[in-house]
Amino acid sequence: MARPLSGKSQPGKGGRQPVLTLGAIDDAWFGHRDNWPQAAHRLIDRGWISPDDHHRILLLEAFGRLIHNNDRHFGNLAFFWQPGAENPQLKLAPVYDMLPMALAPAANGMLPQSSPEPPSPTAALLPVWDQALQLAEQFRSRINEDDRISEGFKSLIDPA
C-alpha cells in the first residue's frame, strides 16, 4: 500500500483512504467475476458490506442497465476499506464511469442507429427496479434539457 508523502493518513480528514475495486476483492476471496448483484450477495453474506450498500449495488446495476451502460465490470465498482480488521469492512465508494456506453460512438465516430432493447429486471433486481426506473427517467430528462447534447444522441437515449 502506498504511504502518504508526509504525516499520517487520516481517512475522511483530507488524508488518503485505502480503496479496493470489486475485481480485487473478488479475485482475492471468491474468484467469480460474474456480476455485481451476485458479488454483492457474497459480500453481504460474509458481513463485509452493510444492507444499505447491498441495496446501492443492486440499484447501480439496475440503473446501469436502464441507461444502457454495458460496461459494468468489476473495475468500475470500488470500496473504501479498513485495513487490519480480521474481516474486511467495506464501504461502497462513489460510483464512477456510469455512462450509456452501449450508445457510445463507434471508432469511426458514428453513433449507433438505434437504442438497445429496454431491459427487463432480473429476480435479484426486482426490489430496486421501480427506484431505478425513476432515476433513469431523471437521467433522461437531464439529457433532454441539456443544450450541449446533440439531438441525435437525445433520440437514442429517449426514443419516442
Contact between 92 and 59 (Cβ < 8 Å):
no
Give, for 145, the enclosing helix (H) or strand (E).
Answer: helix 126-145
Q: Which three cell numbers stand for residue 137?
A: 427517467
Q: How far is residue 37 from each of residues 19, 76, 123, measured CA to CA in Å?
A: 20, 14, 10
Residues designated as active site? 71
Assigned C-alpha cell, 63 = 440503473
